[in-house]
């Protein structure tokens, strides 16, 4: 049923405007405070809080789809010729990272399914090693449990954002803050920006039409990564557009928290800490093995393997005078791995095949066709 059939058009606009206003307040506060992935996580927390308080929040499907394309374009811009060169420079370390991240996803998902009873798709997306915006976008497209995924993933971001700098600070290292995705608007690159958006939108629509899981986000990201990685395009989405898309994506996720019992939220928080502990244990085993074979700096590997927000990890690497190419190459691989593998893994367990009870509450859906 269309949202316009169930409510008057002015009422719909008011609900959407209220949702975006709350999301903007939370995202801006966290973003300006320098919280890693703050534009997204702050928006999620603010809208989730309002939803739990009983506000009738709403995000339409068309807006959500536009948001996914914009996020995909922004994420693809992380790829540069330098990071691609870095991937070729550290083949063994990259290979270990890939295996480690796959192991983190598999063991974390098993823990979430066995201990906390999540369905397969939601468990794998919640356990995905990083890529909060990608995972949230994929979950929104395939109908996974956004509430559970958002809490587990957001808690992971917070734990890493607080714990990793604190741990490094114990050794006399200090790093904090975050930077915005995207970049400044350059009028000289307007033609490139138009081409970038057009090409990415076309590829995203094609991926969506052929029913590739997470096709809107993945298609746009793949096109953007190809154009930037080959050096054909240098323009990036302006930072204010990229951050606005993150805020709006947080609104989509946060609005799914309507009618969620506090007991269920407590279970999700426990799942977040448990899955994080599993991930730390798995990564530690692979890191020790890597140290025994290659002569690498401990701090470089810690930042490169940390499944945190890419912008925060890169800024921390620069602040600590670590190797930005090494760190950037590993986080690029992690992003591509999550965006490529997670939709395929989650597809067979998509909630479309699960009982209705496993889906989010339908009384106040955050977006509809």
Q: Is the pLDDT of residue 127 over 50?
A: yes
3-state SS, residue 60: coil
Segment 239-265 shows an average pLDDT of 81
How far apart CA 69 and CA 333 sit, in angstroms, is 20
How far apart CA 164 and CA 227 sit, in angstroms, is 33
Segment 307-333 shows an average pLDDT of 67
Residue 47 lies in a domain: no
Residue 275 lies in a domain: yes
Tell me which DSSP letter residue 361 carries.
Answer: P
What is the residue-averaged pLDDT of the chain?
77
- Pick 368 or 337 by higher pLDDT: 337
How far apart CA 290 and CA 55 sit, in angstroms, is 50
Residue 5 lies in a domain: no
Residue 103 lies in a domain: yes
User: CA angle at residue 158 from 357 to 145, to 5 degrees?
Assistant: 10
pLDDT tens-digit readout, 38-83 = 787 788 889 888 988 888 888 887 888 898 888 888 878 877 787 7
Taking alpha carbons only, the member of 248, 212, 45, 213 closest to residue 143 is: 213
How far apart CA 107 and CA 95 sit, in angstroms, is 18
Taking alpha carbons only, the member of 100, 123, 76, 160 closest to residue 339 is: 76
Burial class of 102 by CB neighbour count within 10 A (0 to 12, 13 to 18, 19+)? middle
3-state SS, residue 210: coil
3-state SS, residue 89: helix
Residue 6 lies in a domain: no
311: CB partners within 8 A, 6+ apart: 36, 37, 178, 179, 180, 181
Which residues constitute the domain of residue 223? 75-238+260-358
Please name the residue ranges forming H helices in 210-309.
215-229, 239-254, 262-293, 298-305
Residue 108 lies in a domain: yes
User: CA angle at residue 144 from 138 to 149, to 5 degrees?
Assistant: 80
Count of domains forming the chain: 1
Residue 202 lies in a domain: yes
Predicted local distance difference test score (pLDDT) of residue 172: 55
- Contact in structure between 45 and 38 (CB atoms under 8 Å): no
Residue 323 lies in a domain: yes
Q: Is the pLDDT of residue 354 over 50?
A: no
How far apart CA 139 and CA 360 sit, in angstroms, is 12
Q: Which of 185-189, 315-319, 361-365 has the lowest mean pLDDT?
A: 361-365
pLDDT tens-digit readout, 269-307 = 899 899 889 988 898 889 888 888 887 777 788 878 887
Strand partners, 238: 183
Measured in degrees and rounded to the nearest 5, phi and psi for residue 144 equal -75, 175
Taking alpha carbons only, the member of 232, 224, 230, 225 closest to residue 197 is: 224
């Amino acid at each position: 049923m269309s949202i316009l059939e169930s409510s008057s058009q002015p009422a719909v606009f008011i609900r959407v405007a209220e949702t975006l206003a709350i999301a903007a307040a939370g995202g801006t506060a966290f973003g300006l405070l320098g919280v890693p992935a703050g534009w997204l996580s702050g928006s999620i927390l603010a809208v989730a809080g309002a939803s739990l308080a009983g506000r009738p929040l709403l995000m339409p499907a068309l807006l959500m789809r536009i948001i996914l394309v914009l996020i995909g374009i922004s994420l693809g811009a992380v790829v540069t010729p330098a990071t691609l060169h870095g991937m070729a420079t550290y083949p063994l370390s990259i290979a270990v990272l890939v295996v480690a991240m796959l192991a983190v996803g598999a063991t974390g998902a098993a823990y979430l399914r066995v201990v906390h009873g999540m369905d397969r798709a939601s468990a794998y997306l919640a356990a995905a090693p990083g890529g909060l915006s990608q995972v949230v976008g994929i979950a929104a497209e395939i109908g996974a449990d956004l509430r559970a995924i958002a809490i587990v993933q957001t808690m992971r971001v917070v734990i890493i954002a607080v714990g990793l700098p604190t741990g490094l600070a114990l050794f006399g290292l200090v790093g904090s803050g975050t930077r915005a995705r995207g970049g400044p608007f350059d009028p000289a690159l307007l033609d490139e920006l138009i081409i970038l958006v057009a090409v990415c939108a076309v590829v995203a629509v094609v991926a969506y039409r052929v029913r590739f899981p997470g096709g809107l986000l993945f298609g746009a990201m793949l096109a953007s990564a190809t154009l930037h990685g080959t050096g054909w395009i240098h323009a990036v989405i302006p930072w204010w557009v990229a951050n606005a898309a993150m805020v709006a994506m947080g609104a989509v996720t946060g609005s799914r928290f309507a009618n969620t019992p506090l007991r269920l939220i407590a279970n999700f928080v426990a799942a977040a800490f448990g899955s994080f502990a599993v991930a730390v244990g798995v990564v530690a085993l692979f890191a020790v093995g890597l140290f025994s074979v290659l002569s690498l700096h401990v701090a470089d590997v810690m930042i490169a393997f940390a499944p945190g927000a890419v912008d925060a990890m890169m800024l921390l690497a620069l602040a600590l005078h670590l190797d930005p190419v090494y760190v950037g190459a590993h986080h690029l691989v992690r992003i591509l791995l999550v965006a490529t593998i997670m939709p395929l893994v989650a597809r067979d367990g998509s909630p479309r095949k699960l009982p209705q009870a496993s889906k989010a509450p339908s009384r106040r859906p955050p977006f509809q066709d």
